[in-house]
Amino acid sequence: VTHHRYLIVGGGMCSDAAVRGIREVDPSGDIAIVGAEADPPYKRPPLSKGLWKGDPLEKIWYGTESRGARLYPGRTVAAVDPVHGRVECDGGESFTYERLLLATGGSPRRFPFDDGGVVHFRTVADYRRLRALAERGKRFAVVGGGFIGSEIAAALATNGKEVVLLFPGEGIGGRVFPPDLSRFLNDYYREKGVEVRPGASVTAVEREGEAFTLRVEGAGAPDGGKVVVDGVVAGLGIEPNVSLASAAGLAVDNGIAVDEFLRTSRPEILAAGDAASFPSRVLGKRVRVEHEDNAKAMGKAAGRAMAGAPEPYLHLPFFYSDLFDLGYEAVGELDPRLDVVADWREPFRKGVVYYLRDGRVRGVLLWNVWERVEAARTLIAEAGPFRREDLFGRITDPA
Ligand SMILES: Cc1cc2nc3c(=O)[nH]c(=O)nc-3n(C[C@H](O)[C@H](O)[C@H](O)COP(=O)(O)OP(=O)(O)OC[C@H]3O[C@@H](n4cnc5c(N)ncnc54)[C@H](O)[C@@H]3O)c2cc1C
């Protein structure tokens, strides 16, 4: 059994931020990270963006060790024993702690029928695998029209691959964008050479030598219901990794449930990042956010709290993505089922989309409009009520 003052389970983006947070308060206390991946903490966003545009792989590493954290990579924590302040790994190793942070992130949803050939894209290991496939293959199927699917489809197409993008919904990003924008994106991707197949459900993936055959059903299925490719990437969303927490008796509510101080139902154990759900004061509800800004800000706050400087986590995280030459930043709840007010400067190319509930702005999408995240946060914090006409021109592009 090895003892560490601060122990972090999970070696992802949030854990690196937690180490920084601890170090702001405690310059020398002993920190360890136990992480399932073989790689040290790194930035995930470049895996589907910059690395496909020529950025070097070296740029992704955080260098968390240089802040004096001891890394135990390649270890999966199998159990947490809160009574004895101890965690146990799959291989039998165990660690004791004074303060514990669960930063276990999320795991990609998988096809039930995959034999291991599909890349369920999440890690740098998945990136390396897809790169190797892209070295030899020419035609790729990308399944899922959300963040990962849309980014990987663009990345592969930009690298000269033939891409078939399949998803059951009507449009790319249909869970966050209003329907007209989402349909525009289907056409935009087609213009970029991607074969976009909305309304297509993949029911099986069969492998024969180096080739894969996808069985496809639904209105968007091709004639014959088959797509044959050299590689398959899936972006089907993630499930938060909560099983350790629930087995340890910690409260779980769409994620490991924490309070404003990021404490689980056992106050000496904290949780943060994609795995954790927290009460958002400004949104007035418990949320779980699967984005970088949240992983960083919440991880840092958790680290500071572990080292004895707790403060309520009031940050409203933003997120962003790039879709070929289009890009956006967004804040709050982007749910197209809310009342949507679109203020386009140039239809679907540049503008701001507001998402309202009961006259309050709950989310803002800044579409090719930059440096307006703070203005969006301020608007979301305002009581309103807002009418459509109040919002036109409210957040404008500085340019
Ligand atoms: C390809 C890709 C692109 C992205 N692009 C963007 C973007 O453009 N913008 C944006 O805002 N967000 C983006 N994200 C999301 C962002 O990366 C995540 O929000 C962030 O990584 C969450 O950090 P985390 O530390 O909570 O979880 P993770 O980074 O997932 O780290 C969790 C770690 O915990 C480990 N772990 C889990 N269980 C155990 C266990 N029992 N024992 C030991 N270790 C365990 C996992 O192996 C993993 O390494 C992207 C994500 C991906 C995958």
Query: Which of 20, 53, 104, 326 has most ligand 1 atoms within 8 Å of its beta carbon, as the pocket-test mutant?
Result: 104
pLDDT at 368: 95
What's the confidence (pLDDT) of residue 116? Answer: 85
Amino acid at 195: E
Average model confidence (pLDDT) across the chain:
96
CA pair distance 360, 187, nearest whole angstrom? 32
Q: How far apart are CA 14 and CA 214, in angstroms?
A: 35
Confidence at 397, pLDDT banded by 50, 70, 90 = low
Q: How far is the CA of 391 from the centre of ligand 1 (A)?
A: 35
Cα–ligand 1 centroid distance for 17 (angstroms): 12
Q: What are 76-116's pLDDT values in tens digits?
A: 999 999 999 999 999 999 999 999 999 999 999 999 998 88
Average pLDDT value for residue range 50-60: 97
Torsion, Cα of 324, 326, 331, 334 (10° steps)? -80
By three-state DSSP, how is residue 227 classified? strand
Phi, psi of 182, rounded to the nearest 5 degrees: -65, -40
Cα 76–Cα 130–Cα 215 angle in degrees, nearest 5: 100
Percent of the chain with pLDDT over 90: 95
Q: How far apart are CA 319 and CA 18, in angstroms?
A: 19
Q: What is the pLDDT of residues 268-285, one digit of tens each?
A: 999 999 999 999 999 999
Q: How far lies 252's CA from each of 68, 126, 243, 283, in Å? A: 32, 29, 9, 20
Ligand 1 probe mutation, 51, 60, 262, 292, most atoms within 8 A of CB: 292
Ligand 1 pocket residue status of 146, Cβ below 6 Å:
no
Is residue 104 within 6 Å of ligand 1 at its C-beta?
yes
Indicate the DSSP class of residue 142. Answer: E
- Burial grade of 27 (CB within 10 A; 0-12, 13-18, 19 or more): exposed
Answer yes or no: is the C-beta of 244 below 6 A from any ligand 1 atom: yes
* Segment 122-132, tens digit of pLDDT: 999 999 999 99
Residues sharing a CB contact under 8 Å with residue 389, sequence separation 6 or more, in sequence order? none
H-assigned helices in 215-364: 243-247, 292-306
The verdict on whether omega for the bond into residue 178 sits within 30 degrees of 0, i.e. cis, is no
Q: Over 50: is that where the pLDDT of 398 sits?
A: no
pLDDT tens digits, 164-209: 999 999 999 999 999 999 999 999 999 999 999 999 999 999 998 8
Q: Please name the helix (run of DSSP H) or strand (run of DSSP E) that holds residue 69, with its range, or none.
A: strand 69-72
Region of 189 (left: φ > 0; alpha: ψ -120 to 50; beta: rest) is: alpha
Q: Is 92 helix (H, G, I), strand (E, B) or coil?
A: coil
How far is it, in rounded angstroms, from Cα 27 to Cα 61?
Answer: 22
Is the CB–ligand 1 distance for residue 126 below 6 Å?
no
Distance (Å, whole) CA 338 – CA 55: 38
User: Is ligand 1 within 6 A of the CB of residue 77?
Assistant: yes
- Give dist(CA 360, CA 333) in Å, integer: 11
User: Token pair 């006259």 is at which residue?
Assistant: 359
Predicted structure pTM score: 0.96
Q: Atom of ligand 1 at shortest distance to CA of 127? A: 1
| Ligand 1 pocket mutation pick from 274, 321, 326 by most atoms within 8 angstroms of CB | 274
Going by pLDDT thresholds of 50, 70 and 90, the confidence category of residue 396 is: confident
Task: Say what the pLDDT of residue 125 is.
Answer: 98
DSSP character at residue 366? E
Which class for 142: exposed (0-12), middle (13-18), buried (19 or more C-beta within 10 A)?
buried
Determine how many CB atoms are found less than 10 A away from the CB of residue 219. Answer: 11
* CB-ligand 1 contact for 11 (6 Å cutoff): yes
Q: Quick check: 29 pLDDT over 80?
A: yes
Residue pair 330/351 in contact by the 8 Å Cβ criterion: no
